Amino acid sequence: MVIETIVLGGEGGRRFDDAAVGSIGVRSNSRIDALILNGERFGGLGGREVRALDLCHDEYVSELLIRHGSRIDSIVLRTNRGRALTGGGGGGRLTRLANIRLLGVGGNSGNALDRLRLHYIPDYQESALVDGDQFAVIGVVPAGETAEFFGSRRIAQASVARRILETVPAGQAQLSGGAVGVVIAKANGAFGCAVTDRAGLVAQLTALERWGDRLTYVPPAGHLGLELVQIDVFEAGDGSAWIFPISEPSMVTVKADQRFPVREDLYDLTGTLVTRVPPMADRRVCRHGYSFYPAK
């Protein structure tokens, strides 16, 4: 799966930025006079306002039928929960997008809705939870070195999501386009972001980190620190796996020569655990495309 973009409508109006869809409505009569996206109006005051759909947790737009010419004439959308929104007339030509996951909407508007820019995953299939409530190592701190972490749970968890998305090492599972799209959608809901692409998500999560109070940690001599976080592992419709944090990280101090430093099964998202704790080498296996160390 990949993330695709389609542009419908004409050249008029002023551009408005792409945004993830939290709520969506329209003003319309024989055309779409305005799009109401996340409570903000793009377009004029003509027509009748159709009550907006406020999307629930894990609800998304799965089908769109749009009539368009030099402007957007009509919109019909349906969600994966079977809810629908309809507005506009019968002009223009019809474009239908079915079996999608809509990630974001932008466009142009003036006294009407002139253009739509849609970002979506085509031929979308729901991801399945394949390994829930697991532990993962996301950082290894050698003795004497200093690590920083966030005091705020929300910011700490957002920082982990950014690091997982940005720094999964070579040789481990790589996110496909479809998996990236689902991570973007999940992060928008979890952390209040409103983005439609990977770069935008990394930028917003990085900006969020700037507001966090930082604490420091230094492991004692003969020990190292393991930065652990609880995760869920999902499998996307194209078979690729992706990970999402479900807790803030915590630092665990362990002996550097300990054969297995914690009691839990561990995913290693750093790619360095076996070099930092060599006795663990004979336990390493591959699980869902990631390095994994079973406790037993």
- The tens-digit pLDDT sequence of the chain (296 residues) is 578 899 999 999 999 999 889 999 999 999 999 999 999 999 999 999 999 999 987 899 999 999 999 999 999 999 999 999 999 999 999 999 999 999 899 999 999 999 999 999 898 888 889 999 999 999 889 888 898 888 888 888 888 888 887 765 434 445 555 577 778 888 887 887 878 778 888 898 889 888 888 889 999 888 889 899 999 999 877 777 888 999 989 888 888 776 666 678 899 988 888 888 888 888 899 998 889 999 87
**Greatest Cα-to-Cα distance within the chain, rounded to the nearest angstrom:** 74
Q: Could you state, in order of their start, the residue ranges of all structural domains in the chain?
A: 4-121, 128-293
Are 296 and 287 in contact, with CB atoms under 8 Å apart? no
Alpha-carbon span 206 to 155, nearest angstrom:
10
Which segments within 151-249 are labelled E, that is strand? 214-217, 223-235, 241-245
Please give the pLDDT value at position 1: 52
Alpha-carbon span 209 to 109, nearest angstrom:
34
Sign of CA dihedral 124, 129, 133, 136: negative
Q: Can you read off the two tokens belonging to residue 152?
A: 């705020």
Angle at which helices 198-209 and 153-167 cross, to 10° = 140
Residue 211's identity, in one-letter code, is: W
CATH label, 4-121, candidates 2.60.40.420, 2.100.10.30, 3.10.450.50, 2.40.110.10: 2.100.10.30
pTM for the model stands at: 0.76
- Beta-carbon contacts of 105 under 8 Å, excluding residues fewer than 6 positions away, are 18, 19, 21, 24, 35, 37, 116, 117, 118, 119
